[in-house]
Amino acid sequence: MSSLSQKRIILGITGGIAAYKSAEITRRLQDEGAEVRVVMSESAQEFIRPLTLQALSGNPVHTDLLDPEAEAAMGHIELARWADLVLIAPATANFVATLNQGSANDLMSSICLATTAPVMIAPAMNQAMWSNSASQQNIENLKQREVLILEPDNGIQACGDVGPGRLPQPETIVQQVASVFKTGEMTGKKVVITAGPTREAIDPVRYISNHSSGKMGYAIADAMIDAGAEVTLISGPVSLKQPDRCTLVSVTSAHEMLEAATKAVQGTDIFISAAAVADYYITETSDQKIKKKTDKMTLNLAKTPDIVSIVKENNPKLFVLGFAAETQKVEQYAREKLASKNLDAIVANDVSREDIGFNSDDNEALWVEQESTHHFSKCNKAQLARDLVALLATKLEL
């Protein structure tokens, strides 16, 4: 079950060009099981119409500090009491300053002052405004008051400038909201996770590898951390940000990953092999770049070590969850791997599908055990990771 299931989220929208992303944020919050009520500033309504947010959220959009239809016309107090979390996305420079000053001159700032729920803001503004010392001091002051800050992304801005100040993508914002509500299902457990591809060198500039992005393994690490586990993440080369509050071990080759995993699993409870380990490595690598002198080149390949099998064989009491990326006969091949590798369970998916394959933000999978199969419908990988952790917790009777 999602950590946002049944959660009540107020989404505050202030007047910046990034307000157009609020529609997608609303939808994704609801996809995660949250109930959303939208509050809009007057200027936000110039960028996106309240009717759009009302249609998406299924609730009236709130715009006025004194609402004649609210109980005793005190809508801000009712909303402040209702919320499990208040999210302001985007938060303009003006709103950040208003919140820092403790003003309550509109509905949104009043809710932030009146609520006892966590307040999270996602600043979005011109890069020079974000870098200005006044804005940075406002942000530091809010952090000291335990306001949760989502750092803006770098990139090209609507004005043409390049730098920090862009609103993070909706899926990133929703993941951060979900992380506030920890499940605690894995409290006290030690978990080792492998993620990403491995690279097997041909020479100093070339290698063989695969298309794995590492997104699924990293999402599982985030979900395990949110569930209270102590996580070691062994990662091949990826372009992903390290999850907070975990130990990251960076490796390149399959042999390096095996060595790291062998050390890390000592004294742990769960090993999750989500990495896409290359099946073969080059037996004779060149110390120098191989020159393109012939039409053909022969490489001598040998099988890489079967990391998940070796870990299970050496640690028979360890719960080991494998992954199978298939392009056909997904369940059949998963069951064959489950048996041949002596795993406790295996998660399989069809990577031939463009909508859930390598590098996709979404996934659809089967959890396969000796006596049963559980289907996870298509959803984003962060949600699937949380669902996997929840199911794993039931299997371990935590």
Q: Would you name the residues annotated as active-site residues?
A: 159
Q: What is the DSSP string of 22-59?
A: HHHHHHHHHHTT-EEEEEE-TTGGGTS-HHHHHHHHSS
Nearest to 197 by CA among 173, 184, 215: 215
How far apart CA 3 and CA 182 sit, in angstroms, is 7
Q: Going by C-beta distance under 8 Å and a sequence separation of 6 or more, which residues neighbour residue 106?
A: 41, 42, 65, 98
Parallel, antiparallel, or unpaired for β 362-368 and 319-326?
A: unpaired
Mention every residue, 6+ apart, whose C-beta is less than 8 A from residue 18: 89, 90, 124, 166, 167
For residue 351, with 0-12 CB atoms within 10 Å meaning exposed, 13-18 middle and 19 or more buried, which class applies?
A: buried
Distance, in Å, from the CA atom of 65 to the CA atom of 81, rounded to the nearest integer, reads 15
Tokens 């999402």 sit on residue:
219
On whether the CB atoms of residues 38 and 62 are closer than 8 A, the answer is: yes
Specify the amino acid at residue 44.
A
Cβ–Cβ under 8 Å, residues 111 and 83: yes
